[in-house]
């Protein structure tokens, strides 16, 4: 699924923060750039998630690398995850779930405007919003409670991501909302 590729920068970031925040940010930025360029060359458009990833990781890498190098791992994770949460919530509030851009790549055009297809994307975006809220909450708790271990913060974030990924993969497969998709 294309949306999972869109989250690659965040997954890399989450996995690499234990080694180095700076490395994690620059690798995530490079991944976001590569994915954004690939999609732009293919479709001549940049998806919202790709644009947010690119901007967020570029700004965080520069800010934490040159302006505020004393930012903790937890604080950087909190900012990144809060950025994702904002993306998801704002896309829902604007009545254009960010998942639509990916779902349309996998479904025939005649389904794109059907109520079931749109509703399924609201559900997917809402599930991702909950996952991002859990991640942001764990990061905030770890940022402001120094006794909360980074390993537990990372584990909570990865578990939330894993559950959202499993739901994203399984929901359309078992749903009438995506009947006739190009799988």
Structure confidence by residue, pLDDT tens digits, 82-120: 999 999 999 999 999 999 988 888 889 999 999 999 999
- The per-residue DSSP string of 160-182 comes to HHHHHHHHHHHHHHT-GGGTT--
Give a yes or no: residue 52 inside a domain. Answer: yes
Task: Give the chain's domain count.
Answer: 1
Give a yes or no: residue 181 inside a domain. Answer: no
Structure confidence by residue, pLDDT tens digits, 24-49: 999 999 999 999 999 889 888 888 99
Give a yes or no: residue 161 inside a domain. Answer: yes
Give a yes or no: residue 49 inside a domain. Answer: yes
Give a yes or no: residue 158 inside a domain. Answer: yes
Q: Please give the residue range of the domain that contains residue 83.
A: 2-176
């Amino acid at each position: 699924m294309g949306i999972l590729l869109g989250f690659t920068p965040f997954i890399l970031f989450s996995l690499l923060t234990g080694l180095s925040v700076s490395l994690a940010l620059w690798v995530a930025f490079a991944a976001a750039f590569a994915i954004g360029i690939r999609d732009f060359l293919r479709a001549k458009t940049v998806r919202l998630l790709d644009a947010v990833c690119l901007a967020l990781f570029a700004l965080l890498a520069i800010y934490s690398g040159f302006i505020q190098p004393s930012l903790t791992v937890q604080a950087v994770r909190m900012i990144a995850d809060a950025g994702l949460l904002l993306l998801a919530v704002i896309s829902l509030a604007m009545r254009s779930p960010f998942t639509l851009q990916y779902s349309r790549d996998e479904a025939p055009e005649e389904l794109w405007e059907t109520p079931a297809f749109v509703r399924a994307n609201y559900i997917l975006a809402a599930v991702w919003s909950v996952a991002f809220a859990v991640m942001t909450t764990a990061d905030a708790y770890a940022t402001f409670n120094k006794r909360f271990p980074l390993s537990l913060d990372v584990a909570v974030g990865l578990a939330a991501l894993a559950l959202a990924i499993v739901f994203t993969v399984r929901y359309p497969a078992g749903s009438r909302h995506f009947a006739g998709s190009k799988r």
